[in-house]
Structure 1
């Protein structure tokens, strides 16, 4: 008669007075577990009754994981590069360090070392570099950008700024673990200090944010308090004070709103054939919407049909925390909205012809600039790369007209989605914003210029 299995101690193993969970790994799944024939996990107790309870939960979890792997829901390490596997191990060990589970940490370290020992040549070097964090500075930039979820234009801008720092680091032969306060200080002195203050601020914001992400995810060493990195090498790095003397003619040298004659030309001028007549309606509609709502380019061209309802543009996402807002639909825009929502589904775009573009805002912006330049609406100043007028000038024009109509700046801020000033406690903290009537009165006070 065969010996009956002791179900009470099923999958239990006693090691140094601590109970462990142990289960055989199916042959087809062993590549996911570093080639190990058995999976072990400390149950962190010497009490058998407690161990049995914990074993049952761990067994459910691991069997569920086996099923997910078999169904292809988990990526096999066999399909990952040595560098990717090194990164996965580094992140896993960072998570274990945060739990202070030394037995699990030791076990995982052993598995990582076993995997490294099985590799040879360049693969082993790639694994160990990734495992120790000796990777290029922009190694994790795409994961960072995905995590913060900014608008496409801002995402592209931050990607470029982080990669600019990474290129400098490559020239200096610096890897991610080499970046300390001294290295950052050299970069600030050489690259950021000569910049215009506004450009420098964007650069610093992108790099500080990226470093906070790296610290929180364990890719770089650093202290974290209340979910924030508190010893980043970027903290305390001062911005350049590049305020220069204002000379005659300099006062209005920055980007600006459209002048009335410029807007008349854009709205009513003869359409330039070289731009492409298929874009005419798109340009005319987007320009009018921005002029009569103050909406940003990306907000205009990515609006869903269901976000234009009950006489408001119900914007759900955007550049800042104040971007989600309701903007009254100006009476002069109702025809455009009706035409662009007719026979469309709720999740279709008002500008559905742009839905297939990789970056619809950038694509439309380039078309509008060709249109603007063809009509000779341009204002390039000495020493400036960009024209002082662009599509954003329509938003500036709306703000200017609303201000000239006598409406409160707080109401205008609510409509255009500007963040209240940090020092503006009364309006930034204690109010819910302008009323619907105030917003509608402000929007309807703005009128497009008439034909010349």
Structure 2
């Protein structure tokens, strides 16, 4: 539990028998201001020192800002002070939230009031009744600080860091989460909506969705809905913790335009399959295409396979999309030579496709298969397999078309729908292959996989 505010020694040190304020000077300014700015508060009471320190701290920070930028305007100085004030408001708000008992809560409130008084500064005049009048912008900043520190206003991203630490999503999804909140804050700034949870209602959510294409710079509903979805997940988390009354993003999606059948991404035709499999692709690309065609697996799951994932006549693909865990898929007999060749002389932890090791840059959000996908696109176009429609960013055929082709061929071979879904990892109700390489479901899955034949292997009629 954090120490109560009366025991807080931030910006304080004992000098002799008295407390004094100490603020570190940035290294680049020490030649001008010295290592530290110090001033005695004339008291031996830590509680009193905590009450008095904020005026001095604010003054010292203003001195440092002025030294950093001698030409800084009052507006810029106030903006800088606001950033620091909002950070302190959030810190004190958290301390107030976990304060134990009335006495500790009152101590935190005293610290909040003291800081707010320091922000407001000295009165600039008195009104007709003799009440002090403060500089309007500084007074407004002090009132905003009070509202946040005492929990009456909550910045949109106040809880976001904690939410992210508990979300356990992939790096790319985490990046989408952060961008979604950034877009919402930008929208609030542009439209004048206060950037607080308490100011957000269903009406604001509708307005934000209407304006989102301009913020993102794209009009594709799939891209826009990605950000709305991330906000909905965040709000659901907030709702579960009673930080908001309702999830204002629930069910809010931008409709995709109606597509005719000739505008939808599709499976490869048999003629396209022959062109791809008989073309001048290198060995690695040939192997990847065949595994994609005879498993229906996504490209990244294939490229990330290790030797230990290709044993006992069964693939173990890493989770993709909404899959809760690794997925089993029987190895088609036509792939046995590929698996044997790529496993030979390797350890279980070695990659099956070392040709594509993935991004070298630390923290990259790209999937390991990023370069594989680009190379496949170049090869596909080289052999004349393409279906580009006006207004569509992607071709209607791509590596995912192997997955669509596999599902189509399995259906044409009269395989049960629930088994096909289990093999390719589609959502299904109450069915799983389990975690062992035996049992009736896995055997049914093996029959499903082996019912699919590559065009080049089909004997002519």
Smaller-chain TM-score bracket: 0.5 to 0.7
Determine the structure 1 residue equivalent to 2:42. none
Taking a change above 3 Å as real, the CA distance of residues 429 and 362 of structure 1, as seen in their structure-2 partners, is same
- TM-superposed CA distance for 1:440, in Å, is 0.6
Preserved CA contact (<8 Å) 2:301 2:317: yes
SS at match of 2:339: helix
CA RMSD in angstroms, aligned pairs only: 4.6
Determine the structure 2 residue equivalent to 1:16. none
Determine the structure 1 residue equivalent to 2:317. 315
Q: How does 1:280-295 map to 2 (within 5 A)?
A: 280-295=282-297
Structure 1, 439-448 or 168-177: larger mean CA deviation:
168-177
Preserved CA contact (<8 Å) 1:137 1:175: no
Preserved CA contact (<8 Å) 1:257 1:397: yes
Determine the structure 2 residue equivalent to 1:61. none
Preserved CA contact (<8 Å) 2:342 2:352: yes
Determine the structure 2 residue equivalent to 1:417. 425
Is 1:222 paired with 2:221?
A: no
Determine the structure 2 residue equivalent to 1:274. none
Larger radius of gyration between Structure 1 and Structure 2: 2
Deviations 1:160-195 (A, max 9, x none): 555554543443355641433322121233447x97
Is 1:435 paired with 2:444?
A: no
SS at match of 2:261: coil
Q: How does 1:189-268 map to 2 (within 5 A)?
A: 189-191=210-212, 201-213=225-237, 221-223=243-245, 231-235=246-250, 237=252, 239=253, 244=258, 250-268=260-278
Preserved CA contact (<8 Å) 2:273 2:455: yes
Taking a change above 3 Å as real, the CA distance of residues 402 and 167 of structure 1, as seen in their structure-2 partners, is farther
Q: How does 1:158-197 map to 2 (within 5 A)?
A: 163-174=182-193, 176-177=195-196, 178-191=199-212
Structure 1, 399-408 or 338-347: larger mean CA deviation:
338-347
Cα distance in 1 for partners of 2:400, 2:92 equals: 44
Taking a change above 3 Å as real, the CA distance of residues 264 and 236 of structure 1, as seen in their structure-2 partners, is closer
Preserved CA contact (<8 Å) 1:380 1:388: yes
Cα distance in 2 for partners of 1:303, 1:265 equals: 26
SS at match of 1:429: coil
Cα distance in 1 for partners of 2:375, 2:88 equals: 44
Determine the structure 2 residue equivalent to 1:11. none
Determine the structure 1 residue equivalent to 2:391. 383
Preserved CA contact (<8 Å) 2:235 2:244: no
TM-score, normalisation: structure 1: 0.62
Unaligned runs of 5+ in 2: 15-82, 122-140, 435-439
- TM-superposed CA distance for 1:411, in Å, is 0.2
Q: Which has the higher contact order (CA 8 A, sep 6+)?
A: 1
Deviations 1:384-425 (A, max 9, x none): 2221111111111111111111101100111111112xxxxx
Is 1:354 paired with 2:357?
A: yes
- TM-superposed CA distance for 1:346, in Å, is 3.4
- TM-superposed CA distance for 1:110, in Å, is 6.2
TM-score, normalisation: structure 2: 0.61
Is 1:447 paired with 2:449?
A: no
Equivalent of 1:395 in 384, 387, 403:
403
Taking a change above 3 Å as real, the CA distance of residues 173 and 404 of structure 1, as seen in their structure-2 partners, is same
Taking a change above 3 Å as real, the CA distance of residues 180 and 344 of structure 1, as seen in their structure-2 partners, is farther
Taking a change above 3 Å as real, the CA distance of residues 396 and 383 of structure 1, as seen in their structure-2 partners, is same
Unaligned runs of 5+ in 1: 1-19, 38-80, 224-230, 272-279, 421-427
- TM-superposed CA distance for 1:333, in Å, is 1.8
